Structure 1
Amino acid sequence: MIPLHDDNPTRSIAFLTILLIVANVAVFLYQLSLPRAAIEAFFASFALTPAHLTGSGTAHAYGTVLTSMFLHGGLMHLLGNMLYLWVFGNNIEDACGHFRFLLFYVLSGGGAAAAQIAVNPDSQIPMVGASGAISGIL
């Protein structure tokens, strides 16, 4: 069964979890509004490509560690990630506090990116999605 909610009560509103979901959905809707040729340029600019970091490693390329967490390869990719962020994120944000939750989320996503780069540093395949950050939350 796929979880749709949990039974753990929270003491506060998990506004960062909600904000992350809204941001991911907004970026995805923006992706959908782009013409096909522009989507490729959008992903080339904001997705994390390991070879770009291990090669020239420009300052822009390092920023893709963060921006790639908000891109998704399709509707099911987005929905799966947002479902698990919705179900589990509120409990972790409630337990850790807002700032530490956001820090943990970003560091988990960065750790996933570092693992991908370590495993395949010459890859030309763009890495997208919040899966690494959400896996850290789980």
Structure 2
Amino acid sequence: MVPLRDRNPTVITPYITYGLIAVNILVFLYELTLPPAQLEGFFHLAAIVPRELSASFSGISVNQQVPEWMTLFTSQFLHGGFLHLAGNMLFLWIFGNNIEDKLGHLKYLIFYLACGALAGLTQWFFSPASPVPSLGASGAIAGVLGAYILRFPKAQILTLFGYFVTTVPAYFFLGLWFIQQAFYGIASLNAPANIGMESGGIAYWAHAGGFVFGAILGPMLGLFDDRSPSEPF
């Protein structure tokens, strides 16, 4: 199931969304220039390492050049591969513009970074001793999805189901996505070696947490203040 494009127009030019996509791409291009050993070190420096974050919260120095709390933000611009980057940027391009239109540029940037940081903390809460770096924009983008399902629940999403293309309402597509993340997150509690961040896989709790925090922070920042621009119907 892959979203191709929504039918909800945007009014303002989504400079922040475009800028975030550009920064993510530039950082990934930088990653490609690093040999494997240096890339591993770069990830360890700028990604969230839950074990080290736990130590910093306890006042224990981990001898890192970047303060551990800052990795809650720097990790949002790192990606482990081209498909990881492409999938995240596709979702950000599809859904981010309309949320930026509703919140405005500055509040949207604050919203995006806050959702990413809170998503990272959600994953840390469930795996505080993990030595595996957690990285990617998916937690912040999950926050965008959480706001989108509230603001545009009936917007039609052109979606690829296997070999078939159809349209489904946003509440169905994004609701199903959230249920999947929550289910796999719960499953990972009983199988940490096979699924979730312990295996270096998908940080499902970060996705679910980002989605919930996006649904909370969006209205607080004015998601529903102006109902006239960029309505889907």
Alignment TM-score, normalising by the size of structure 2: 0.57
Find the aligned partners of 1:3 and 1:112 in 2 and give their Cα distance.
22
Deviation at 1:20, TM superposition (A): 0.2
Question: 1:67-97, CA deviations, whole angstroms, 9 ceiling, x for partnerless residues?
Answer: 0000011111100000000000000000111
Flag the structure with higher strand content.
2
What is the 5 A alignment of 1:23-42?
23-42=23-42
Find the aligned partners of 1:130 and 1:74 in 2 and give their Cα distance.
12
Match of 2:14 in 1: 14
Deviation at 1:4, TM superposition (A): 2.6
Q: 2:109 aligns with which of 94, 97, 102?
A: 102
Alignment TM-score, normalising by the size of structure 1: 0.95
Which residue identity is paired with 2:90?
A: L
Match of 2:51 in 1: 51
Structural RMSD (CA): 1.2
Find the aligned partners of 1:44 and 1:97 in 2 and give their Cα distance.
34
Question: 5+ residue gaps in structure 1?
Answer: none
What is the count of residue pairs matched by the alignment?
138
Higher relative contact order (CA 8 A, sep 6+): 1
Which residue identity is paired with 2:135?
A: V
Deviation at 1:43, TM superposition (A): 0.7
Question: 5+ residue gaps in structure 2?
Answer: 146-233
Which residue identity is paired with 1:18?
A: Y
Deviation at 1:132, TM superposition (A): 0.4
Which residue identity is paired with 2:50?
A: P
The percentage of aligned residue pairs carrying the same residue is: 49
